[in-house]
Structure 1
Amino acid sequence: MELSNKTEYAVLSLIALAACYSSGESLQIREIAARQNIPNRYLEELLATLRRGGLIKSIRGVKGGYVLAREPRKITLLDAFRCMEQGDADVPKKNSTPSSVETEVIQEVWQEGCDAAYSVLQKYTIHDICEQRAKQRQMESMYYI
């Protein structure tokens, strides 16, 4: 399993939206792009995918933009991964008729690895990532004499 640019940018976008969640403020594409250093055109496609996946909502009008569809504590990294990677995000199914014992063993180990990876992604929410970011920023700003 590899973290693709589109999934990374999608999570960065969700983090930007999470920062505004409690105030109810929406963010426009250019604001998200500037905050997270994501190309505007690419971001448009990502946000459309996140919207179709039910993770964000779009708000029309002059003050419109994007907001999270549910609270950051209820959006897991696995939700974002599945939304962006679609078919690639499902846990691989075990081949019913392996061609050899070796193939069967490889499939079992691969399945265990995928299960572990998905378990970790399910464990962390956008809220958790925001908290970890805040802790790291705090550590970076400490002065040592």
Structure 2
Amino acid sequence: MELSVKSEYAILALLELTGSFASDQPLQIRQIASLQNIPDRYLEQLLATLKRQGLVKSQRGSKGGYILAREPWSINILDVVRCIEGYDPISPKNSSQNPETPSEAVVREMWQTAQQAASEVLSNCTLKDLYEMKRQRQTSTTMYYI
């Protein structure tokens, strides 16, 4: 279980959109790309995928850009990963039809338990939760000099 660069970039972009959610101000691709160091073209593709899945919406015009389609507390990270990857990366894969040995069975069961735990963590963490963690970290690392 590893977070792909594709999913990581999507989550980073959504975190930027979460920050502007309260003001209802859309962010342009170049703004998000600059703030999160994501290639523009790649981000454009990711946002198109997120839009097709109903996680973001776009606004046209000179003040246009992207905004979250739903409240940040209603979008969990597992939804984002499923959207970007096109499948549930946590769900167990079908193993071969051959009968498994007791050793293979216990290893498979242990792996399924780990996947279930990962799924639970990702489904219980929302964009709002991540945004709040980010703000706390920024506040705690800010140094004030007199």
| 1: CA distance, partners of 2:99 / 2:115 | 18
CA RMSD in angstroms comes to 1.9
What do residues 70-115 of structure 1 show as CA deviations (whole Å, max 9, x unaligned)? 0111111111111111225251156475432222222111111100
| 2: CA distance, partners of 1:23 / 1:83 | 25
Q: TM-score if structure 1 supplies the norm length?
A: 0.91
| 2: CA distance, partners of 1:93 / 1:41 | 32
State the secondary structure of the residue aligned to 1:57. Answer: strand
The within-5 A match list for 1:1-145 is 1-89=1-89, 91-93=91-93, 95=95, 98-143=99-144
Q: Is the 8 A contact 2:90 2:119 kept in 1?
A: no
Cα 1:98/1:112, change in 2 over 3 Å: farther
State the secondary structure of the residue aligned to 1:137. Answer: helix
Q: TM-score if structure 2 supplies the norm length?
A: 0.90
How far 1:123 moved relative to its partner? 1.1
How far 1:53 moved relative to its partner? 1.8
Cα 1:29/1:144, change in 2 over 3 Å: closer
How high is the sequence identity, in percent, across the aligned residues?
A: 50
